[in-house]
A and B are shown apart, each in its own frame.
Chain A
Amino acid sequence: MTATPYAVELKDLRKSFGKTEIIRGANLAVAPGERVGIIGPNGAGKSTLFNLISGRFGPTSGQILLNGKRIDGLPPYQINRLGLARSFQITNIFGRLSVFENLRCGLLWAMGYRYAFWKFLADLRDANERATQLLAMIGLQHKRETLAVNLTYAEQRALEIGITIAGGADVVLLDEPTAGMSKSETARFIELIREVTVGKTLLTVEHDMGVVFGLADKIAVLVYGEVIAFDVPAAVRANPRVQEAYLGSVLADHQAADAH
């Protein structure tokens, strides 16, 4: 092992639901600062993989390491405290709280306020400043006091990312960040994600190949619960196993789109 441990490392990770094995011995090692796009056909287990890494489920066997520390089987909040944050495919925000409150909730633990009931939120200068900064970063200054439930879909997606990065985690998992967005919204949104995740280790699950290639330096291909390739995009495209698994379809489509 190198001196600096991998940001995220999966070792022979397996997960079964009943008799069905969804993740079948996945291996992956992501170096700090790498930006990885995880692709694969429907049902390959991409979302399950994210749920395992972020602690939503415990793995059946195998190991997950975050910065060299075992995190498999830990509850989500402990994994988050160790520096991993995730967003959700289906928007997962605090509907009856304002946009500002949503962001502030996202950073309270990381800033050390924990379960404090002897301090007023209004007096937490650093937390309020950081929440205001985040508000500007995701471009929702004018919606500061709006209840999250009243935002437009695209704004909710932006807030979703804002809550995810609020705590300053250095490993960020994004589960289909642009799901349900229009093409123009998607383009702007990718820019936003790039800006707010500078310097972080980024793992993204995406169906939209444009998004994947826009956000990722490296591609991991997940097929039937196994990582069959993990490399820079050009090498992944050329990989015969990947071409076979996809029957040329998705990547070929993308190459065709590129050619235009």
Chain B
Amino acid sequence: MKATATHATTAAARRRFDTGRIVVWGGYALLFAVAPLVFTSNLDRSILTQIGVAIVACLSYNMLLGQGGMLSFGHAVYTGLGTFVAMHALLGIGDGSFPIPVSLIPLVGGFAGMGFAVVLGYVTTKKAGTPFAMITLGLGELVTAMSLMIPEFFGGEGGVSANRVVGQPILGISYGPQIQVYYLIAIYTLVCTVAMYAFTRTPLGRMLNATRDNPERVQFIGYSTQRVRFFSFIVAGFFAGVAGGMYALNFEIATFEVVGAGRSGLYLLFTFLGGATFFFGPIIGAVLMVLGFALFSEVTQAWQLYLGLIFLLMVMYAPGGIASLIMMNVRVAAYRKLHRLWAWYALLAATGLFMLVGVAALIEMVYRLQLESGSGSTLRYLGFTLDTQGTASWLGALAVAAVGFVVFELVRRRFVRAWETIEGEIEATAALKEPAS
């Protein structure tokens, strides 16, 4: 008995250093290292930097949402206040009143976020569930209102700006060039990701999961659910603040929007899209968030409309987000059945794309008609010229969308059946593998 127990613990300890983990984390670090060598323009590198910031923000948000079952509508309060405090620290470095290295600015943001999480989180985490969500919403509005009432700290409408190239360069690093900021933020992002992952393997991290699953029972095994939520909230506040501090370094300006409900909503939306049930889900969400703003907004003015549509479909058909879709397919692949799905995926993609072409044409025409009618009635769309005044364009787009929808839906239904068959086979195999009770 004792021998097996000891064996189990050492095995568990060893597992922490196994090759799989080294490959995953090594690959993650490598991506950060080489990304700016592939994307070399200043704009690209700024986008990469923003991705780092967003990853830390979304991961810290998921400590609440995915790991603690706490639906917060006000996470930007902690990232945003971290940003503002970091801006003032940066100004302090500039005028000599706060002599610390610029590299530590994200930590200043972190401690600020943590401090505000201690004060505001104490109230917030008294409750769980819907009351928790309501309190975060209220506090978010409160802080946004305050940000306009206290221009001395928040800088009013114009915000606060500062220069990151201050103080003496250390080892030639002045943070003037974007690449230097990028690598600083990449290091912070890596360390924060590792730290937040480590948190999930600690007693508090596990009790946070337990509190999410069954708060009542937690009370009867010695834990105060309020404390579990509160302490976790503080940890999440710290990492949110670090993200805020990194934001300050990257943009060198903070306006009241950084604490606003809009930003909080984006954290929620993209963490959910990425997948709240897996640790790495929010990383995917963060990448999509930055790319969405930076790239898709170039493609179409109406990109947020598409975003809303994707979010809606995701909630309805894949509530576990992209991460869960990936993991479901990884499972199918592990049982060597993925090859049976390729054809389905190709069909789904083709019919989905066809439907999207029609739907997008409609959206673009409506958008032009309602919001940009000044730019004329015709627009270029995928090589076609659409006319918002012409019946043919509307009918054509409508027909493509309708046919696309019908075909897609037919394919989708058959796909679901194929998927369920495979799932059934996997369950049967798994049941056989399990030792009999």
Residues of A that sit less than 8 Å from B by CB: 54-55, 75-77, 80-81, 85-86, 88, 92-97, 101, 104-106, 108-110, 113-125, 128-129, 132-133, 136, 142-143, 155, 163, 166-167
Which of B200-208, B267-275, B342-350 lies at the interface? Answer: B200-208
- In addition to A75-B219, A109-B221, A123-B13, 5 A-B residue pairs with Cβ atoms within 8 Å of each other are A94-B210, A114-B203, A115-B203, A121-B206, A142-B437
Choice from A77, A128, A155, A167 contacting B5 with Cβ under 8 Å: A128
Query: How distant is B418 from chain A, measured CB to nearest CB, in Å?
Result: 24
**Chain A proximity mask over B227-261: 1 for CB below 8 Å, otherwise 0:** 11001000100000000000000000000000000
Residues of B within 8 A of A77 (CB): 218-224
Q: Are A101 and B8 also in contact (CB < 8 A) when A77-B220, A115-B227 are?
A: no
Q: Are A120 and B206 also in contact (CB < 8 A) when A92-B214, A94-B214 are?
A: no
Choice from A86, A96, A132, A136 contacting B220 with Cβ under 8 Å: A86
In the complex, whether B413 has a CB less than 8 A from a CB of chain A is no
Q: Are A105 and B435 also in contact (CB < 8 A) when A77-B224, A85-B221, A117-B231 are?
A: no
Residues of B within 8 A of A163 (CB): 217, 221
- Contact yes or no, A80 B435, CB < 8 A: no
In the complex, whether B385 has a CB less than 8 A from a CB of chain A is no
> Which residues 180-234 in B have Cβ within 8 Å of A in the complex?
198-199, 201-207, 209-210, 212-214, 216-224, 227-228, 231
How far apart sit A88 and B201, CA to CA, in the bound complex (Å)?
28
Choice from A81, A88, A125, A136 contacting B222 with Cβ under 8 Å: A81
Most A C-beta atoms less than 10 A away, residue of B13, B202, B221? B221
How far apart sit A85 and B228, CA to CA, in the bound complex (Å)?
19
17 residue pairs from A and B, CB less than 8 Å apart: A77-B219, A92-B220, A94-B209, A94-B217, A115-B204, A115-B207, A117-B231, A118-B202, A122-B9, A123-B13, A128-B12, A129-B2, A129-B5, A142-B434, A142-B436, A166-B221, A167-B222
Q: Are A80 and B222 also in contact (CB < 8 A) when A122-B13, A128-B5, A128-B9 are?
A: yes
Residues of A within 8 A of B6 (CB): 125, 129
Q: Are A109 and B213 also in contact (CB < 8 A) when A115-B204, A115-B207, A142-B434 are?
A: no
- Contact yes or no, A122 B15, CB < 8 A: yes
Residues of B within 8 A of A129 (CB): 2, 5-6, 9
Residues of A within 8 A of B380 (CB): none
Please name the residue on chain A nearest to B9 by beta carbon: A128
Residues of A within 8 A of B434 (CB): 142
Residues of A within 8 A of B217 (CB): 88, 92-94, 163
Most A C-beta atoms less than 10 A away, residue of B8, B220, B436? B220
Query: How distant is A130 from chain B, measured CB to nearest CB, in Å?
Result: 8
Choice from A54, A93, A106, A116 contacting B203 with Cβ under 8 Å: A116
Q: Which 6 A-B pairs have the closest CB atoms?
A: A109-B222, A129-B5, A117-B204, A76-B219, A132-B5, A94-B213
Residues of B within 8 A of A118 (CB): 202
- Contact yes or no, B221 A106, CB < 8 A: yes
Residues of B within 8 A of A110 (CB): 222
Residues of A within 8 A of B9 (CB): 122, 125, 128-129
- How many B residues face the partner with a CB closer than 8 A? 42
- Contact yes or no, B16 A120, CB < 8 A: yes
- Contact yes or no, B220 A54, CB < 8 A: yes
How far apart sit A107 and B243, CA to CA, in the bound complex (Å)?
35
- Contact yes or no, B203 A113, CB < 8 A: yes
In the complex, whether B1 has a CB less than 8 A from a CB of chain A is yes
Q: Are A105 and B8 also in contact (CB < 8 A) when A75-B219, A117-B202, A120-B202 are?
A: no
- Tally of contacts, chain A with chain B, CB under 8 A: 125
In the complex, whether B4 has a CB less than 8 A from a CB of chain A is yes
Residues of A within 8 A of B13 (CB): 122-123
How far apart sit A95 and B209, CA to CA, in the bound complex (Å)?
10
Residues of A within 8 A of B1 (CB): 133, 136
Residues of B within 8 A of A104 (CB): 206
Query: How distant is A94 from chain B, measured CB to nearest CB, in Å?
Result: 4
How far apart sit A76 and B224, CA to CA, in the bound complex (Å)?
8
Query: How distant is A50 from chain B, measured CB to nearest CB, in Å?
Result: 11
Please name the residue on chain A nearest to B434 by beta carbon: A142
Please name the residue on chain A nearest to B277 by beta carbon: A96
Residues of B within 8 A of A108 (CB): 203, 206-207, 221-223
How far apart sit A92 and B214, CA to CA, in the bound complex (Å)?
7
How far apart sit A115 and B206, CA to CA, in the bound complex (Å)?
10
Residues of A within 8 A of B204 (CB): 115-117
Residues of A within 8 A of B203 (CB): 108, 113-117, 119, 121, 124
Please name the residue on chain A nearest to B8 by beta carbon: A132
- Contact yes or no, A120 B2, CB < 8 A: no
How far apart sit A106 and B224, CA to CA, in the bound complex (Å)?
13
Please name the residue on chain B nearest to A86 by beta carbon: B220
- Contact yes or no, B2 A97, CB < 8 A: no
How far apart sit A121 and B207, CA to CA, in the bound complex (Å)?
11
Residues of A within 8 A of B224 (CB): 75, 77
Residues of A within 8 A of B227 (CB): 115
- Contact yes or no, A132 B4, CB < 8 A: yes
How far apart sit A85 and B217, CA to CA, in the bound complex (Å)?
11
Residues of B within 8 A of A80 (CB): 219-222
Please name the residue on chain A nearest to B11 by beta carbon: A122
Please name the residue on chain A nearest to B222 by beta carbon: A109
- Contact yes or no, A167 B437, CB < 8 A: no
Residues of A within 8 A of B206 (CB): 97, 101, 104-105, 108, 121
Please name the residue on chain A nearest to B204 by beta carbon: A117
- Contact yes or no, B209 A121, CB < 8 A: no
Query: How distant is A10 from chain B, measured CB to nearest CB, in Å?
Result: 19
Query: How distant is B366 from chain A, measured CB to nearest CB, in Å?
Result: 42
Please name the residue on chain B nearest to A154 by beta carbon: B437
How far apart sit A117 and B235, CA to CA, in the bound complex (Å)?
9
Query: How distant is A212 from chain B, measured CB to nearest CB, in Å?
Result: 23
How far apart sit A104 and B209, CA to CA, in the bound complex (Å)?
13
Please name the residue on chain B nearest to A82 by beta carbon: B222
Query: How distant is B260 from chain A, measured CB to nearest CB, in Å?
Result: 30
How far apart sit A132 and B4, CA to CA, in the bound complex (Å)?
9
How far apart sit A136 and B2, CA to CA, in the bound complex (Å)?
11
Query: How distant is B183 from chain A, measured CB to nearest CB, in Å?
Result: 28
- Contact yes or no, A121 B201, CB < 8 A: yes
How far apart sit A113 and B202, CA to CA, in the bound complex (Å)?
10
Residues of B within 8 A of A88 (CB): 217
